[in-house]
Every structure is written in C-alpha cells, then in structure tokens.
Amino acid sequence: MIEIKNITKTFTDRQVLAGIDGTFRPGDTSLIIGGSGTGKSVLLKCMIGLITPDSGEVLYDGRNFLTSNIDEQKTIRREMGVLFQGSALFDSKTVLENVRFPLDMLTEQSAAEKNERALECLRRVGLEGAGDRMPSEISGGMKKRVGIARAIVLNPKYLFCDEPNSGLDPLTSIKIDQLIKEITDEYRITTVVITHDMNSMMEIGEKIMFLYKGNKLWEGNSDTLTQSDVAELNEFIYANKLLRETAR
C-alpha cells in the first residue's frame, strides 16, 4: 500500500500541489486524472523520488520514503516499476536488452537467468519472438508493451504509469489498459496510472483521484465518476466526452 499525506510543492512562486492526501492499495489500478498542468506528473514524480516535495509524507507499506536513509530508499526504489510517457526505450538496444536492462543494472544474476526472466516478461506482455527487434522496428503499442515488460522485470510491488495511452489508437489503448490491470491483479501490485483517457477511466477506474489546480477535488471510481456534483470534474468529463465524440 502507498499512502501520501499532505504533499505540497511550489516552483518559484507557483504552487503546483496544495496538500494532496491519498491511499493506493495492492491489486488496485488507481488513476490520477485532471486537465493539463494540474500537477499530476509532479505528484507522481514526488511519489517516486524524482522531485522532493516541500512538505508531506510518502509511505510505502509504512516506510517513510522521504525520510529514509539512502539504503532504505534504494530498497524501496528497487520495488518500483515505472512506465514513462513515450515508453523511454533505448533506441540502440534490442527489445530484449531493453527489458533486461534493470536486471543488468541492479542484480548479480547470470546472463542466462537474466535472459530467461526478460523473455518471461516479454511473453507475459504478448511479445514472445520480438526480443531481437529494435525499438524503431516496432509499433507504438508494442513499445508500450516493452515498457511494461521492463517495468515488471524486477517483480515490483509498486507500478507507476505516466499516460500509458498517449499516442495510441483507441483499440490499442484499451488493450494496454487491460494488460496493466491484469498484471496488477495477477501480481497484486499497487499500481498508479496518470491518464487523460476517458475510456481508461470507465474501464479500469477502480479508484480515481481528480486533481484540479494542485488540489484533490474528488475521489471515487468509474461508477461514481459521472454522478458527482463537483463542477470542475463535470467540466473535465464533458470536455473529454466532447473530444471523443468529435474524434469519431
């Protein structure tokens, strides 16, 4: 379980996060939604240690990440998998080498063990047989799958995905969402996904947090999403629906 408590962040004179609380549970795919510039990515970066918040706590199964010593932080970091926006694959490495990379960096396993584990993860995301290909030779959806395989290669307890649907067509988006949800269920991972995607909200929104100008204005799930009386949330959903309908 991940708990965040009163996370605040200001850049120069602009407050980007104004005291965010939340709980993310194992086996849940929790979504953070909201318009552009509302602080979603900054919040995610505060959670994974890429940005230090001005105040607040981030607890990983009770362990205070921000006040932990370096060794404890390393342990917690090793338990995280991250799927970055745009997949962030190394262009000069093959698909298999990309997936194996965290094992190369962080484990003492033999080459055979690392290859076997990387292949197992590639199989899990439906990419058996693609290990020798280069990132430039595969589609956007396949790149996301490689990114997911790499994110789970160290058996993470916590999985963070920043806009996993960006740049994908609707059908591929749904498949990627389903894969993230299945993996989360299967391995009981605590998964946090940033998304703008209305389909994702309806399909995998077991728990949804809505951010608006650095504040958490609403929390719920896909069943209650369209029934709130929070005007900013309704505007956001309406704009999303309109976009979807216009795109059809």
Ligand X SMILES: Nc1ncnc2c1ncn2[C@@H]1O[C@H](COP(=O)(O)OP(=O)(O)OP(=O)(O)O)[C@@H](O)[C@H]1O
Minimum Å distance from CB 30 to ligand X? 16
Give the 3-state secondary structure of residue 211.
strand
Minimum Å distance from CB 211 to ligand X? 7
Nearer to ligand X, 41 or 172 (CB): 41
Minimum Å distance from CB 158 to ligand X? 19
What is the rounded distance in angstroms from the CA atom of residue 193 to the CA atom of residue 32?
Answer: 6
Q: Could you identify the residue written with the tokens 């009770």?
A: 62
With a CB cutoff of 8 Å and minimum separation 6, the contacts of 91 are 134, 135, 136
What are 57's two structure tokens?
């706590």
Nearer to ligand X, 46 or 179 (CB): 46
Q: What is the DSSP letter of 118?
A: H
Minimum Å distance from CB 229 to ligand X? 23
Nearer to ligand X, 31 or 122 (CB): 31
Nearer to ligand X, 46 or 142 (CB): 46
Q: Is 183 in the site for ligand X (CB under 6 A)?
A: no
How far from chain centre, in Å, is Cα 231? Answer: 27
Minimum Å distance from CB 37 to ligand X? 4
> In the window 26-55, what residues touch ligand X (CB under 6 A)?
34, 36-42
Long-range contacts of 240-243 (CB under 8 A, 24+ apart): 240/196, 240/198, 241/198
The answer to whether residues 41 and 162 touch, using CB atoms and an 8 Å cutoff, is: yes
Nearer to ligand X, 28 or 197 (CB): 197
Q: Is 22 in the site for ligand X (CB under 6 A)?
A: no
Q: Is 16 in the site for ligand X (CB under 6 A)?
A: yes
The answer to whether residues 162 and 84 touch, using CB atoms and an 8 Å cutoff, is: yes
Q: How many residues line the site for ligand X (CB under 6 A)?
A: 10
List residues binding ligand X (CB under 6 A): 11, 16, 34, 36-42
